[in-house]
Amino acid sequence: MMTEDTQAQPYTDAAILYVSLNDGKTRREKIPDELYKNYLGGRGLGVKMLYDNLRPGIDPLSPENLLIFAIGPSTATTVPTAGRFAVITKSPQTGTIFDSSCGGYFGAQLRRAGYAAIVLEGKSDKPVYLWIDDDSVEIRDASAVWGKDVEVTTDMLLEATHEKAQVACIGPAGENQINMAAIMNDKHRAAGRGGVGAVMGSKHVKAIVVRGQKTVAIPDKQRLTEEVKRSRRLIKKNAVTNKSLPVYGTPVLVNVANEYGMLPTNNFQFGNFNDAEGVSGEKLLERLAVRTYNCYGCPIGCGRISKAYGKEVGGPEYESIWSLGPQCGINDLEWIAEANHRCNLMGIDTISVGSTIGCAMELAQRGKLETHLQFGSTTGILEMIDDIAHKRDLGADLSEGSRKLAAKYGAPELAMQVKGLEIPAYDPRAVQGHALGYATSNRGGCHLRSYLIGPEILGTPVLIDRDKPDGKADLVKLYQDISAAMDSMAVCRFTNFAWSPDDYARLLSASSSLEMSGRDFLKVGERIYNLERLFNNREGLTSADDQLPPRFSEPLPEGNSRNRVVQLDIMLPEYYKLRGWDKDGNPTKKTLERLGIGS
């Protein structure tokens, strides 16, 4: 057996594994040095590969689309939270370039098996799964697990491979190629948004199972040790990462959002929920908590295991509590935990499914749709989640997402989405910078491209006026660039509460062969963001797509954000100017040259 020293591998020697599903052949290629330097790994690596290899206009569910799983240069090192991976593809839900990030332990196993990325090409003629055991790669028959839910699939594949392997798989939603299908690992961690699971299902790939035993080579272990100690101290000094998230998890935000009048209720008709306390993180801890857990290398530990109707379930996270709760007018916390569990079993994005159900409820409220779905009632929703996953009856309409649902029933303005992706659990009328982040997100309605809830609500790193549009364009650009680089490194978004660009650069430099300053780190993120924009522009998206639903031009009727509206008309032109884009939102030649992006 190889010794630890002889099998230690630097990231630059990790392979990109190409899997041709058409003929079952695989090949390995080294990451080009320039690609590594300019795009790092993770999201950036995948974005660059998609841009270079997809022709405009392809159907996201056709064999021509690529599905890329990628980790970053710091993955599986001692850098805190460096166990994440990204899934990158063209989204069937939005038609945009898309990446979805996921925690758990799959990313670290992939790195230890010696891979920087897996690229799935073409389409298998039958259900298969990929079994990677260090250097051994097999495409195996998946007929025994096709049709099974995520938990059963995971257990069966671990029994068929190795108990210490990690499984990333789809459920019935992905098999049926619904627009909201997720890719799941650790049974309830999700690369959740944009229909990445539908792309996996379109290729007839049920799962990737990976076991890695290699060690990761570090150029200067002492340097990395010191930087890790320093970064952990910063996490301990921050109230959000040291207290709020470890104790309550992400549901700590329920009461916070409600207090500010920005907890979307009844499909964003209101910003206050009359029983927010009953579905809060505090109440979850009191009533349903079983234990907490950490993803790979994470000192924060925001993960929750809860008990619903006598069984242990994962989560629910803040976004899931909101989408299946206040968004639908529901205040039954145990039922919400069960509904979240049902989504995980089916492999569905909880944000989009809950928001789409809320949209259906308002369509019914306004006489546009005949359905049993009503605000405040849980009746039939669990069955509807199953119907969505299997494209049955009305569930087939909902499976397309809120944009297509609302348009079909004659009220497109009732879909709370941007570029086809449902907006998450922060009413943008209450937070001007966050609203601009929604509008300009390259993957559609997303809170994580530019999480200005930190400075606008939580006061980290400093508190800024949430109502004023002034200066928000600069902040949105900064946070978008940081996020793109973080996702390419690849580390957890929550570290952004405690670390600056200089901190990320120091950790990246210490854990890899790159030497990078904070300014360099931001430039990598800016390069990635602009390349994503170019991808979307050549797919036909324009400045007209950088808009919010008309509801957000109507004042909130009550609460601590009463009478507020989004002031996008002020912020968007300034944002384009700061980005170095023309008035139509296209990156200029000068900007592309500065960033080293070829036409």
pLDDT in tens, 307-322: 999 999 999 999 999 9
Looking at the DSSP assignment, which residues form a beta bridge with residue 480? none
pLDDT at 215 over 60: yes
Q: Using omega within 30 degrees of 0 as the cis cutoff, is the peptide bond preceding 316 cis?
A: yes
pLDDT at 599 over 90: no
Regarding pTM above 0.75, the answer is yes
Q: Using omega within 30 degrees of 0 as the cis cutoff, is the peptide bond preceding 490 cis?
A: yes
* Tokens read off for 226: 């010191």
Enumerate the domain spans of the chain: 4-211, 249-415, 428-595
Burial 122-140 (b: 16+ CB within 10 A, else e): bbbeebbbbbbbbeebebb
Whether the Cβ atoms of residue 443 and residue 436 lie closer than 8 Å to each other: no
Query: Taking the CA atoms of the chain, what radius of gyration do you get in angstroms?
Result: 22
pLDDT in tens, 401-454: 999 999 999 999 999 999 999 999 999 999 999 999 999 999 999 999 999 999
What are the helix and strand counts (H, E) for the chain? 25, 17
Whether the Cβ atoms of residue 77 and residue 490 lie closer than 8 Å to each other: no
Q: Which fold has domain 4-211?
A: Aldehyde Ferredoxin Oxidoreductase;  A, domain 1 (3.60.9)
Distance CA 89, CA 82 (A): 22
Written as one letter, the residue type at 89 is T
pLDDT in tens, 344-369: 999 999 999 999 999 999 999 999 99
Pairing of β 303-308 and β 25-30:
unpaired
CATH entry 1.10.569.10 includes domain 249-415: yes
Looking at the DSSP assignment, which residues form a beta bridge with residue 119? 18, 68
Whether the Cβ atoms of residue 478 and residue 217 lie closer than 8 Å to each other: no
Whether the Cβ atoms of residue 168 and residue 69 lie closer than 8 Å to each other: yes
Mapping DSSP onto H, E and C, the string for 273-319 reads: CCCCHHHCHHHHHHHCEEEEECCCCCCCCCEEEEEECCEEEECCCHH
Q: Which fold has domain 428-595?
A: 1.10.599
pLDDT of residue 7: 60
Backbone φ, ψ for residue 426 (5° rounding): -140, 115
